[in-house]
Amino acid sequence: MIAEDTGHAFVDERAFGIYDEQRWRDLLQVEKVVVQSPSMFKQVVDNPPPDIFVVLMRRDLTKIHASQRRIGWDKHPLGNTIELSRFGLASGDSAATKYDYWASHEKEAPFLELEYESLRQHPLFIPDDKRRNFGAVQTKL
């Protein structure tokens, strides 16, 4: 939605191998891109690349967990473990950890917090009942 509304190119996290920080930073040097990068959350807070604008999507944790189950992320052997290890944790809820980290740290980059539910009126929003069979990288019907 952000890429479409701003005329920027959308870059999925697969473009930088999800966890490859250097490739992620390189991608952010390209002008006019919107980069989906939840795996780089801690880097965005602690050491953001220059000239970025961060959009933090606020979503109810139960809905995040349901989405993770729907795409099979909860079954990924290292998914939550890798996310938590970036915060020095061995267990817990990575989504809750990220929100807590965000709230407790000063932001170095300009940002906007956006409530997920506020997007329901956007013409590109896909309702929950139509996303039931979405895969991990699906963004369109």
Q: For residue 138, is it within any domain?
A: no
Tell me how many domains the chain contains.
1
Percentage of the chain surpassing pLDDT 90?
69
DSSP state of 90: S
CA 102 to chain CA mean position, Å? 13
Distance of CA 130 to the CA centre of its chain: 21
53 CB-near residues (< 8 Å, 6+ apart): 109, 110, 111, 112
> How many Å apart are CA 28 and CA 8, to the nearest integer?
12
18 found inside a domain: yes
Question: Residue 32 contacts by C-beta under 8 Å, 6 or more apart in sequence?
Answer: 6, 7, 8, 9
Residues in the chain, total: 141
How many whole angstroms separate alpha carbon 138 and alpha carbon 15?
14
pLDDT in the model for residue 27: 94
Find the domain containing 35 and state its range: 2-130
* CA separation for the pair 48, 54 (Å, rounded): 9
Q: What is the pLDDT of residue 126?
A: 85
Instruction: Give CA–CA dist 27/107, Å, rounded.
Output: 21
Predicted TM-score (pTM) of the model is 0.88
Q: List the chain residues with pLDDT less than 50.
A: none
pLDDT digits (tens, 9 = 90+) for 29-55: 999 999 999 999 999 999 999 999 999
Q: Is 86 within the bounds of a domain?
A: yes
Predicted confidence at residue 81, as pLDDT, reads 87
